[in-house]
Structure 1
Amino acid sequence: MKPAEEYILNQPEFYQEIILNLQVVIEKELPEAVLLFKWKIPYYYVNGKPFCFINASHKGKFVDLAFNKGYQLEQHLDHLVGEKRNTFKSLRYVSLEEIDVSILKEVILEAKVLH
């Protein structure tokens, strides 16, 4: 099993469900994306460059989907979290029901244009 897959499958069910749902959308919108395990987290690369990562924050009890060049994103700013980061902004989920697939797709596609 690949390290990124192992990370996901070793998460408690709460985090695992959210991550797996995010994966489905990401991989549908970005079929060219490659899931790697970098900096101890699952990281999607597009055209050999880091694109976004998924982090299960057990301390904060949420899942972050953080985008490289996140501070350049202009859509859905009310859904993006920056929190003391220089380049990343993320969509943060505390439940499976919070995933708005249309917003997620739009952010992914805007990030792809910036990539």
Structure 2
Amino acid sequence: MKPAEEYILNQPEPFKSMLLHLQILIEGAFPTVDLRCKWRIPVYYLDDKPFCYLNASHKKGFVDVAFWVSAHLTKYTEFLVTENRKVVKSLRYFSVDEINEKILLTVLEEAHQLKDKGFYKRK
């Protein structure tokens, strides 16, 4: 089993359920993504470039789907959280029920289009 998959499966509830749901949505929409472990968290790569990452904050009770190209995202920006981060913005969830698939998939698609336009660097 990959370290990133272990990270997800070893999370306590409700984080595990949120992460598994996000994993299904992301991998279903983008079958060519590669789930890897970087900085001890799951990071999705497209064409060997980081696409987004998942992070469970046990202390604060949420899961983030974070994007490096957030400065270039234009759709559903009112749902993107910066929380004192200069580059990264994220969609933040406190329960599985809060995961709005339309918003998530729209933001993921826009981030994917930015990758095609050269906004991602190899990491």
Q: How many angstroms apart in 1 are the aligned matches of 2:55 and 2:17? A: 13
| 3-state secondary structure, aligned to 1:31 | coil
Q: How many angstroms apart in 2 are the aligned matches of 1:78 and 1:89? A: 11
Pairwise CA RMSD: 0.8
Q: How many angstroms apart in 2 are the aligned matches of 1:30 and 1:62? A: 23
2:70 alignment partner in structure 1: 70
| 3-state secondary structure, aligned to 1:45 | strand
TM-score, structure 2 normalization: 0.90
Give the deviation of 1:10 after TM superposition: 0.8
Per-residue deviation, residues 40-94 of structure 1 (Å, max 9, x unmatched): 1000000000010000001110000001211211110111001122221100000
1:46 alignment partner in structure 2: 46
**Following TM superposition, where does structure 1 have runs of at least 4 consecutive aligned residues deviating by more than 2 angstroms?**
none
TM-score, structure 1 normalization: 0.97
Mapping for residues 1-115 of structure 1, pairs under 5 Å: 1-115=1-115
